[in-house]
């Protein structure tokens, strides 16, 4: 392994879309399946530039749809290659059938998802309904706050996906426009450093070979199908440990360590907000402001959505008196998707004396900033005095 001290670090001003392309380049992807959709198109455009300029030795497959993009990745991964694609919103829904094929076939594919609202009505702005629609498929889902995290997560995703104890596809998400088209300084590790962290893929337990043909993903009968689903879940359960180990190793090489969640000033917090993506930066600012005013506020940022970080979340939240979950998603007829899961986790674990509030905010890219989070925190401090319970609040609803 190369040490951080011995390696050179290049800094570039990159959007999250370009950071994803650089991450895929550093991971030495071999197949890029490309189909454009706003606001993802810049990712595959940049990879096309790398390939044309001979900076990346890979094959660009220009497909006719997102369904075909994932199909191309499935074929490439099954043949032993390291594939990459990216999409958004309606595009992810169009490839939905193949999403399940990728996980069911246990193929280590990495995909970038620039989260965007689902039509109708048409919207090109951020919303997490698209990436959360694949949460039951068997994909590992990792979310990013910044362009730096996008680059780092893409590289780590291949180590996680290709790990022999996991062998599952990984989706790396980031917010449309707020993150995808906003430029910020990003540290790029040397190629030699990444190569030491991420060696060439060793296809296992099988690889499709025309000289030794086999059948994979074919018809199975009722007395066998259930075991296949069970084994996918076993891979996801093992992935928690792998994600933490990979994050620690990456931290030793780059100085940026990653886990399943990130805690910010939670040690003595009475009220904690849970969120993900680009909103987390504004929540941190709100926490700092409220701390100066004497409020014991904290933040838990979700990095890993699947597998669900049960133990990490429970350890971070069990002492809080009120927990608010702010998310850009909603399960119609039920509540906030992430909030429902966290509330269930707390109640199942015997944490019953806590106020849990699901805040639905920022759908379709609606602005939500520091002052909004301060208001949410202060409302939670008031609710904290009223006892336990679960509530859904549509924050900033008009009309």
DSSP assignment of 102-134, as one string? HHHTT---EEEEEE-PPSSSP--S--SHHHHTT
Rounded to whole angstroms, the Cα distance separating 372 from 18 reads 30
Which H/E stretch holds residue 353?
none
**Helix (H), strand (E) counts: the chain:** 13, 15
- Is the model's pLDDT at 120 over the cut of 50? yes
With respect to residue 154, please indicate whether it lies within any of the assigned structural domains: yes
* CATH number, position 133: 3.40.50.970
Task: Note whether 220 and 270 are same-domain residues.
Answer: no
Tell me the average pLDDT across 19-28: 98
pLDDT at 227: 96
Percent above pLDDT 90 for the chain: 90
With respect to residue 178, please indicate whether it lies within any of the assigned structural domains: yes
pLDDT at 143: 98
pLDDT at 7: 56
Q: How confident is the model at residue 352 (pLDDT cuts 50, 70, 90)?
A: confident
Indicate the pTM of the whole model: 0.96
Residues 6+ apart with CB under 8 A from 111: 70, 73, 84, 85, 86, 87, 169, 170, 171, 172
- Is the model's pLDDT at 134 over the cut of 60? yes
* CATH number, position 297: 3.40.50.920
| pLDDT tens, residue by residue, 148-196 | 999 999 999 999 999 999 999 999 999 999 999 999 999 999 999 999 9
With respect to residue 91, please indicate whether it lies within any of the assigned structural domains: yes
pLDDT at 5: 47
pLDDT at 236: 98
With respect to residue 4, please indicate whether it lies within any of the assigned structural domains: no
| pLDDT tens, residue by residue, 228-260 | 999 999 999 999 999 999 999 999 999 999 999
With respect to residue 3, please indicate whether it lies within any of the assigned structural domains: no
Task: Note whether 269 and 128 are same-domain residues.
Answer: no
Rounded to whole angstroms, the Cα distance separating 333 from 340 reads 12
Q: Whose CA is closest to 313, among 339, 282, 287, 345?
A: 345
Task: Note whether 170 and 273 are same-domain residues.
Answer: no
Task: Note whether 24 and 133 are same-domain residues.
Answer: yes
Name the average pLDDT for the chain.
Answer: 95
Task: Note whether 141 and 233 are same-domain residues.
Answer: yes
Specify the residue for token string 């062998």: 167
Domain's final residue, options 221, 254, 287:
254
Domain's final residue, options 254, 272, 293:
254
Q: Supply φ then ψ for residue 41, to 5 degrees.
A: -50, -35
pLDDT at 387: 77
Domain's final residue, options 228, 254, 280:
254
At 363, list the tokens. Answer: 């759908």
pLDDT at 205: 75
Task: Note whether 217 and 345 are same-domain residues.
Answer: no
Task: Note whether 125 and 227 are same-domain residues.
Answer: yes
pLDDT at 275: 98
At 393, list the tokens. Answer: 């609040």
Rounded to whole angstroms, the Cα distance separating 8 from 251 reads 15
pLDDT at 332: 94
- Is the model's pLDDT at 294 over the cut of 50? yes
Least confident window among 31-35, 243-247, 381-385:
381-385
Task: Note whether 217 and 177 are same-domain residues.
Answer: yes
Structural domain count, the chain: 2
pLDDT at 2: 52
Q: Which residues lie across from 84 on neighbouring strands? A: 32, 110
Task: Note whether 161 and 272 are same-domain residues.
Answer: no
Task: Note whether 242 and 387 are same-domain residues.
Answer: no
| pLDDT tens, residue by residue, 361-372 | 999 999 999 999
With respect to residue 271, please indicate whether it lies within any of the assigned structural domains: yes
| pLDDT tens, residue by residue, 265-290 | 999 999 999 999 999 999 999 999 99
Q: Whose CA is closest to 342, among 382, 397, 305, 384?
A: 305
Residue 70, domain extent: 9-254
With respect to residue 15, please indicate whether it lies within any of the assigned structural domains: yes
- Is the model's pLDDT at 331 over the cut of 50? yes
Q: Which of 56-63's residues contact partners 24+ apart within 8 Å by CB, and which partners? A: 56/25, 56/28, 56/29, 57/28, 57/30, 58/29, 58/30, 58/31, 58/32, 59/30, 59/31, 59/32, 60/32, 60/34, 61/31, 61/32, 61/33, 61/34, 62/34, 62/35, 63/33, 63/34, 63/35
Tell me the average pLDDT across 305-315: 97
- Is the model's pLDDT at 386 over the cut of 90? no
Task: Note whether 227 and 306 are same-domain residues.
Answer: no
pLDDT at 210: 87
With respect to residue 2, please indicate whether it lies within any of the assigned structural domains: no
Task: Note whether 214 and 353 are same-domain residues.
Answer: no
């Amino acid at each position: 392994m190369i040490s951080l001290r011995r390696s050179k670090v290049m800094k570039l001003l990159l959007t999250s879309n370009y950071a994803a392309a650089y991450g895929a380049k550093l991971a030495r992807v071999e197949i890029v399946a490309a189909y454009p959709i706003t606001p993802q198109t810049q990712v595959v455009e940049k990879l096309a530039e790398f390939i044309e300029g001979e900076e990346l030795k890979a094959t660009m497959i220009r497909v006719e749809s997102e369904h075909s993009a994932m199909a191309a990745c499935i074929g490439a991964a099954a043949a032993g290659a390291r594939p990459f694609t990216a999409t958004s919103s309606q595009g992810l829904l169009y490839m939905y059938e193949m999403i399940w094929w990728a996980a069911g076939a246990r193929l280590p594919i990495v995909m970038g998802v620039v989260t965007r609202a689902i039509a109708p009505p048409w919207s090109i702005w951020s919303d997490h309904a698209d990436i959360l629609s694949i949460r039951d498929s068997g994909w590992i889902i990792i979310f990013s706050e910044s362009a730096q995290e996008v680059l780092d997560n893409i590289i780590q995703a291949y180590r996680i996906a290709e790990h022999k104890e996991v062998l599952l596809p990984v989706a790396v998400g980031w917010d449309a426009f707020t993150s995808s088209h906003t430029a910020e300084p990003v540290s790029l590790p040397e190629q030699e450093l990444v190569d030491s962290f991420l060696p060439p893929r060793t296809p296992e337990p099988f690889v499709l070979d025309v000289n030794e043909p086999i059948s994979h993903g074919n018809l199975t009968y009722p007395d066998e199908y259930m075991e296949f689903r069970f084994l996918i879940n076993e891979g996801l359960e093992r992935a928690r440990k792998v994600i933490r180990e990979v994050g620690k190793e990456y931290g030793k090489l780059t100085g940026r360590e990653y886990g399943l969640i990130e805690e910010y000033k939670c040690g003595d917090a009475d009220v904690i907000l849970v969120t993900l993506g680009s909103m987390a930066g504004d929540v941190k600012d709100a926490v700092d402001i409220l701390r100066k005013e004497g409020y014991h506020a904290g933040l838990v940022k979700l990095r890993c959505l699947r597998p669900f970080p049960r133990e990490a979340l429970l350890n971070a939240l069990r002492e809080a008196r009120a927990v608010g979950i702010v998310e850009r998603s909603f399960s119609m007829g039920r509540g906030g998707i992430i909030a429902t899961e966290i509330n269930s986790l707390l109640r199942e674990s015997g944490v019953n004396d806590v106020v849990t509030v699901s805040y639905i905010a920022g759908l379709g890219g609606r602005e939500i900033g520091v002052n909004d989070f301060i208001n949410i925190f202060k409302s939670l401090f008031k609710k904290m005095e009223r006892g336990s319970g679960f509530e859904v609040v549509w924050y900033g609803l008009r009309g």
